[in-house]
Structure 1
Amino acid sequence: MLQNNKTRSKKWLMLALSAVLALSVLAGCGKSSGAEAGTGAAKKDDSKVVATYEGGEVTQKEFDIELGNMLLMYPEYAQLINMDQFREYFLKQQVAYEYLQGKASDKSKTEGEKKAKEQLEAMKKQEGFKEALTEKKLTEDDVLKYMTRILTVVVDYNDKVTEDQIKAQFEKDKEEMTVASVRHVLIGFKDKDGKERKKEDALKQAKDISARLKKGEDFAKLAKEYSDDAGSVPDGGLYKDTPVSKWVPQFKEAALTLPINQISDPVETDYGYHVMRVESRTVKTYDKLTEDEKTALRTRAASEIMNSFMEKELDKLITKIDLPKVEEAKPEDKKEEKKEDANKETPKDNGATDNKKEDKTEGTK
């Protein structure tokens, strides 16, 4: 229940990029140079050029494949796909990865391709993968190129991160890496049966629980009896050795700042009021980081460097964007719309007149 589900702090335009660098799963579709892998001679791409940049270009067909791959990896982005602003940003992201793949070291290209093949093999074992390819009009080769390009860039940027940059990222993130054991009672704005509870009633009950705990009553017992947080009730309200980053902001802040073993006053979150006791708190130091934690910091540092490139350098490399607007209907569609509008004019006027007559009649009653 206390999972932090807040949206990413960055603008929605950065969603795809953030997901790529954070998860190292998304990938970009590189241009074909010669035959398509496993398909014989390459098919001629005579579609419109929608982007031109230093050293290359992107065609409409390539962009459509890019979008298909993105939706394959992240179906939830379907709601953004018809937004012109998002499409232009995504096209620029495609340009960025094509450009950076060309600048990557041979080592990064080899490692990126290796990781992409491993990812593809894992995806092929998932149920429904072939059907998803068909639905998105993609081939396995499209997906492999897509992932190879992105993972090549991810590997290359990770390799360029220095130890000092990892330490700097740690200083930014160390609070998020704090681990705490917290016991709490939640008096929710909804009770265990899902029934709404007034805010003032929840606060009154939480204050009563806090007072009883401060007098020495057993925390675990009261949590099992009164707490509305099903996730912690079986353990007497305890979340043990949990990264504070997993909690909603107000709960996290209390977990970071409350004196150890002190009963809190009610802490309000979107879920209700929490009475808390921090039983332990471990603040990470750089020398105690595991290799996995250092790798995660390296990836986040690489992500920030990549974001900086996207925001400050990318536009200088792009010479032209010529992406058709989604709202630009086809000529034949516009003709049909005009016909429909013409047919609707008379009924619409009649309807308005009829309404006025009804209003007049009603007013004389």
Structure 2
Amino acid sequence: MRLSNRKSWKVLLVSMAAALSFSMLAGCSDNKEEKDNSTALATYKGGEVTQKEFDTSIHVMKFLSPDQSQYLDMDVFKETLLKQLAAFEYLQGQAKDEAKKEAESQADTQIKTYKSGMGESYESSLKEQNLTESQVRDYMVRVLTVYQDMRLKVTDDDVKKYFDEHKGDFTVASVRHVLVGFTDSNNKERTDADALKRAQEVKAKLDGGADFAAVAKEYSDDTGSKETGGLYENKALGTYVEEFKQAALTLPLNTISDPVKTTYGYHIMKVESRTEKTFDKLTDDEKTQIKDTLSSEKVQSFLEKDLDGIITKINLPKASASAATGASAAPAASAPAAAPAASPAAQ
């Protein structure tokens, strides 16, 4: 279940690598086998980020999230990146030993996952970025240390408060829907008016007694549920986009909805069952998910509110005019490139 909201480009790097077990934005390796005499690009309370560290960090990020490489090369984002690297180095230095030990274990697991998932391309991808496995691991350790340290600061009261504020996310429901997308099954775009008209046709058929599963197979553009008759069975509602979630929370059971508009198109919905969950019924995994979400929010809050306070000097060449114009090409809040593709109903 994805509980956290998408983040702005100001915290691009947290958002970009969220699918890689929290986020992977840190300075470079702790194993400095060669003396680093490169220029200090950023000075922060207690340390500095050198040109060599900065370059290595970018190469690691390209290795971990290659689909985002084009953004990492844009000058317009480099100062934000540099400041965030300094922040993670600073926070790593403040972390407890318990957080560091857990980060070591998680980094080992991540490396094994990458090796297994990438197969023969693992070594060649490292070579392409001029990296060693040790550099990637050290990078992960530093960032995961920060997140684990923030996680240690999450109390049971924090978890309870989060649950009380987001109860709807934990409600479990079985929902059928037909999605009339703004893009059809042949990748042809539909206008809003055309999508709404088709959705109203679907509603009329269902109101007239047509079988929901049959109509979903004929009309739905949601490949994740089309072949199951439009059914998402016993799913926590926190996995869905906000408009879909709110409709699933409030629609009377076994009632055909009016068209529900989301960023994907129009949904015709029917909630077949819905069960609210109380705090005492949360599973350990669900409590862990809440703690992970809260720790991510703590890191994001530091980046937004405290980051500039730890930076004492920035010595980064100014962005070129041509590179600065590249900002418009980047999405306002890009989903993680390495995240598994979600169905149109889900985030």
TM-score, normalised to structure 2, is: 0.79
Question: Separation in 2 of the partners of 1:271 and 1:98?
Answer: 39
Match of 2:66? 75
Match of 2:57? 66
- What is the DSSP-based 3-state SS (H/G/I as helix, E as strand, rest coil) of the residue aligned with 2:169? coil
2:236 partner letter: P
Q: Does residue 1:214 correspond to 2:207, yes or no?
A: yes
The alpha-carbon deviation at position 328 of structure 1 amounts to 8.8
The alpha-carbon deviation at position 62 of structure 1 amounts to 0.8
- What is the DSSP-based 3-state SS (H/G/I as helix, E as strand, rest coil) of the residue aligned with 1:52? strand
- What is the DSSP-based 3-state SS (H/G/I as helix, E as strand, rest coil) of the residue aligned with 1:307? helix
Question: Separation in 1 of the partners of 2:253 and 2:85?
Answer: 49
- What is the DSSP-based 3-state SS (H/G/I as helix, E as strand, rest coil) of the residue aligned with 2:55? helix
Query: Given the superposition, is the C-alpha separation of residues 85 and 207 from structure 1 closer, same or farther in structure 2, using an over 3 Å criterion?
Result: closer
Query: Given the superposition, is the C-alpha separation of residues 18 and 187 from structure 1 closer, same or farther in structure 2, using an over 3 Å criterion?
Result: closer
| Contact in 1 for aligned 2:29/2:135 (Cα 8 Å) | no
Q: Does residue 1:13 correspond to 2:17, yes or no?
A: no
The alpha-carbon deviation at position 235 of structure 1 amounts to 2.6
Give runs of aligned pairs for residues 1-365 of structure 1, distance below 5 A. Answer: 9-19=6-16, 23-24=21-22, 26=24, 28-30=26-28, 32=30, 36=32, 42-125=33-116, 126-127=118-119, 128-187=121-180, 203-204=196-197, 206-327=199-320
1:265 partner letter: D
The alpha-carbon deviation at position 290 of structure 1 amounts to 0.8
- What is the DSSP-based 3-state SS (H/G/I as helix, E as strand, rest coil) of the residue aligned with 2:280? helix
Question: Separation in 2 of the partners of 1:240 and 1:122?
Answer: 29
- What is the DSSP-based 3-state SS (H/G/I as helix, E as strand, rest coil) of the residue aligned with 1:265? coil
The alpha-carbon deviation at position 84 of structure 1 amounts to 3.3
Question: Separation in 1 of the partners of 2:17 and 2:250?
Answer: 33
| Contact in 1 for aligned 2:14/2:23 (Cα 8 Å) | no
In the TM superposition, what whole-angstrom CA distance separates every residue of 1:312-352 from its partner, at most 9, and x where no partner exists?
A: 222222111101234299xxxxxxxxxxxxxxxxxxxxxxx
- What is the DSSP-based 3-state SS (H/G/I as helix, E as strand, rest coil) of the residue aligned with 2:124? helix
1:12 partner letter: W
Query: Given the superposition, is the C-alpha separation of residues 174 and 76 from structure 1 closer, same or farther in structure 2, using an over 3 Å criterion?
Result: farther
Question: Separation in 1 of the partners of 2:218 and 2:17?
Answer: 44
| Contact in 1 for aligned 2:243/2:260 (Cα 8 Å) | yes
Query: Given the superposition, is the C-alpha separation of residues 92 and 203 from structure 1 closer, same or farther in structure 2, using an over 3 Å criterion?
Result: closer
The alpha-carbon deviation at position 215 of structure 1 amounts to 4.5
In the TM superposition, what whole-angstrom CA distance separates every residue of 1:32-59 from its partner, at most 9, and x where no partner exists?
A: 4xx74xxxxx312111111111111111
The alpha-carbon deviation at position 270 of structure 1 amounts to 4.9
The alpha-carbon deviation at position 113 of structure 1 amounts to 1.9
2:299 partner letter: M
| Contact in 1 for aligned 2:25/2:84 (Cα 8 Å) | no
Query: Given the superposition, is the C-alpha separation of residues 147 and 278 from structure 1 closer, same or farther in structure 2, using an over 3 Å criterion?
Result: same
Query: Given the superposition, is the C-alpha separation of residues 75 and 262 from structure 1 closer, same or farther in structure 2, using an over 3 Å criterion?
Result: same
| Contact in 2 for aligned 1:27/1:151 (Cα 8 Å) | no
The alpha-carbon deviation at position 257 of structure 1 amounts to 1.7
| Contact in 2 for aligned 1:17/1:93 (Cα 8 Å) | no
- What is the DSSP-based 3-state SS (H/G/I as helix, E as strand, rest coil) of the residue aligned with 1:261? coil
Query: Given the superposition, is the C-alpha separation of residues 259 and 43 from structure 1 closer, same or farther in structure 2, using an over 3 Å criterion?
Result: same
Question: Separation in 1 of the partners of 2:184 and 2:74?
Answer: 40
Question: Separation in 2 of the partners of 1:268 and 1:113?
Answer: 44
- Quick check: 302-311 or 8-17, which moved more? 8-17
In the TM superposition, what whole-angstrom CA distance separates every residue of 1:38-89 from its partner, at most 9, and x where no partner exists?
A: xxxx312111111111111111001111111111111222222233342111
The alpha-carbon deviation at position 203 of structure 1 amounts to 4.3
In the TM superposition, what whole-angstrom CA distance separates every residue of 1:261-287 from its partner, at most 9, and x where no partner exists?
A: 112223344555433211112233221
1:26 partner letter: M
Alignment root-mean-square deviation, CA: 3.0
The alpha-carbon deviation at position 200 of structure 1 amounts to 5.3
- What is the DSSP-based 3-state SS (H/G/I as helix, E as strand, rest coil) of the residue aligned with 1:241? strand
Larger radius of gyration: 1
